[in-house]
Every structure is written in structure tokens, then in C-alpha cells.
Amino acid sequence: MSTQEKSSDRIREEVSKDYATMIRKPGTGCCGKPAPKGFVAKLAGYKEEELAALPADAVENSFGCGNPLSFSEVKDGDVVVDLGSGAGIDLLIAAGKVGPMGRVIGVDMTDEMIERARNNAEKAGFKNVEVRKGIIEELPVETGTVDWVISNCVINLSPEKDRVFDEIARVLKPGGRMLVSDIVAEGLPPEILQIAGAYSSCVAGAIGERDYLAGLRKAGLTDVEVRARLKYDATQIKGFIDSELPNFSEGGCGCGCDMGPIAGMLEGKIQSIKVFARKPAE
């Protein structure tokens, strides 16, 4: 069954199962071969010193495609919500920025990720971090209470992106802002879309940049703009898939195979963008 024919709940279930599997086998890439952990975090643009201050587990289990906080003006006392918080890398960086008077709320649907993020927040000694179970299409967050929505490589995984954009607009305070790192794609070859794992690997569910920005505007957000972008070359795509997303490697070409041709097919077609938007002030 193709992704288009599956129900949204079924897609979320499969994505959640894939991320639960990935988090359970740290330190392994395709077929258990040792993977260069932390590759994704470095490629995503975090500073060495930023990563050094975090529990290693949060860094090693980062599945992001950018550093959404690097361009934000998150400050002391702010309330930040992280959509699809995973093992917590951005939650923890945000927690340091908002300080004890601020609050950081992570939302994720995968129990294994939620547990990991809570443990990492505890290890880092943050009392201002809360991780809630829920889906980003129906955020367990009160209306108009959030200064910043952040997210790292998650909205591409949603089968109902317009619902996510509406939810971002709902939870933000008037004047509240959003900075999201995510994957957008143009002209993906049909054979890629058929590969098991291509959806959970943040490739097959990605939409075009124009549709992404239009979706945010349709939700009522303003000042929508791309603040940074990284168009992956074949080497970066190969590293990304090999080191952090074993499912794609296994579904794509089997154990020990050469990911080069798949990476070549994707070159120039997927990029990570950092998108800003604002909820109009009343």
C-alpha cells in the first residue's frame, strides 16, 4: 500500500514504531554496523560547546536536520513548545535559554522518546522542562499561551500538515513566533517514494517549500520566511542516512549495500530549511 492510500493514524503509528526502534538501538547504523553517532547533530549546525554541555544521550540520539534555536530570540522567562521533541536535544538548549522563570514543553507521540527526553532533562538538572504525550496535529497545549514554537525535522513526517500549521497558530500568544527546521523536497523520483523507511527517514513525506510557506500563511501566520537553508549534496545525504536512519538503508538496498546511488538520486532535491513565522499581535 502506498503512503497516499494509508490513513493518517496508520502513518503516525508506523512513524512512531520506526522511531521507537531507532532509539532502542543506539550506536548502530544499518544492520548493526557502528555508526558515527553525533554526525546528524554536527551537520545540523549545533556548536561544539553547545553539544558538550548536554547529556551525551541527547546528542547521540538527535534526529534533527537543523538547529531551530540558532536564529531565535528565545529569552529568559519565555514559554517554548517543541513539536516532536525526540530525545530532547532542543528542549535542553531551550531550557538553558528560558531559565528557571521560563518553561519548555516538548510534545511527542512515541513513548520511548518521551522517556528518553525526560531522563535527559533530569540528567541535565532542568526543572523547567515538561514532556507531554500527544500528536502535533492536536497539541496538548492551551490556546494562546506560547512565546515560541520550535521543531526540528518533524512536520515533514505529519500526514496532516495543515492541521499542524493551524495548531501552531492556535497555541502561540498574539505576537508569538515560530522557528522550525525541516526538510522540504522537490521532484523526488517515484522509486524513492516506494522504499520502505523513506517516509520515516524524513524524505518521502516532505512537501515543496512553496506549499510549506503557503500552509503557514493559510493558518493566519505572518512574516513567513526562510531564514537559512542547506541543500544536501550526495555525501551529506549518504552520511545522514547511513548514520542515523538505518531503516532507510535497510529498506533501500539491504545490509552492506552501497547507498551511493540512492544518495545520488536525492542530490539537489532535498534541503533543510529554517522557517520563521509570527502570529499577528492583537
Ligand X SMILES: C[S@@+](CC[C@H](N)C(=O)[O-])C[C@H]1O[C@@H](n2cnc3c(N)ncnc32)[C@H](O)[C@@H]1O
CA distances from 224 to 134, 179, 241, 274 (A): 26, 10, 29, 11
At position 20, the amino acid (one-letter code) is: A
38 vs 220 by CB, closer to ligand X:
38
Does 148 bind ligand X (CB under 6 A)? Our answer is: no
Does 157 bind ligand X (CB under 6 A)? Our answer is: yes
Is residue 278 within 8 Å of 178, Cβ to Cβ?
yes
The residue with cell 493551524 is 166
- The one segment of 73-81, 132-140, 215-223, 234-242 that binds ligand X by CB under 6 A: 132-140
List residues bridging with 151 in a β-sheet.
83, 180
Does 62 bind ligand X (CB under 6 A)? Our answer is: yes
Find the binder of ligand X among 30, 98, 109, 121 (CB under 6 A).
109
**DSSP structure string for 77-106:** T-EEEEET-TTSHHHHHHHHHH-TTSEEEE
Shortest Cβ 72–ligand X spacing (Å) = 15
4 to 23, contacts with ligand X by CB under 6 A?
12, 15-16, 19
215 to 274, contacts with ligand X by CB under 6 A?
none
Alpha-helical segments (H) within 140-208: 161-171, 190-193
Cβ neighbour number for residue 132 with a 10 Å cutoff: 14
- The one segment of 30-38, 123-131, 151-159, 266-274 that binds ligand X by CB under 6 A: 151-159
Question: For residues 45 and 77, what is the distance between their CA atoms, to the nearest angstrom?
Answer: 25
Does 154 bind ligand X (CB under 6 A)? Our answer is: yes
Does 165 bind ligand X (CB under 6 A)? Our answer is: no
List residues bridging with 231 in a β-sheet.
271
Find the binder of ligand X among 67, 120, 158, 271 (CB under 6 A).
158
175 to 214, contacts with ligand X by CB under 6 A?
202
At position 221, the amino acid (one-letter code) is: L
List residues bridging with 183 in a β-sheet.
272
Find the binder of ligand X among 29, 84, 176, 246 (CB under 6 A).
84
List residues bridging with 178 in a β-sheet.
149, 277
- Counting residues that bind ligand X (by CB under 6 A) gives 26
Shortest Cβ 127–ligand X spacing (Å) = 21
List residues bridging with 181 in a β-sheet.
152, 274
Shortest Cβ 170–ligand X spacing (Å) = 15
Find the binder of ligand X among 37, 78, 94, 110 (CB under 6 A).
110
Does 89 bind ligand X (CB under 6 A)? Our answer is: yes
Question: For residues 183 and 181, what is the distance between their CA atoms, to the nearest angstrom?
Answer: 7
Residues forming contacts to ligand X in the complex (CB under 6 A) are 12, 15-16, 19, 62-64, 84-87, 89-90, 108-110, 113, 135-137, 152-154, 157-158, 202
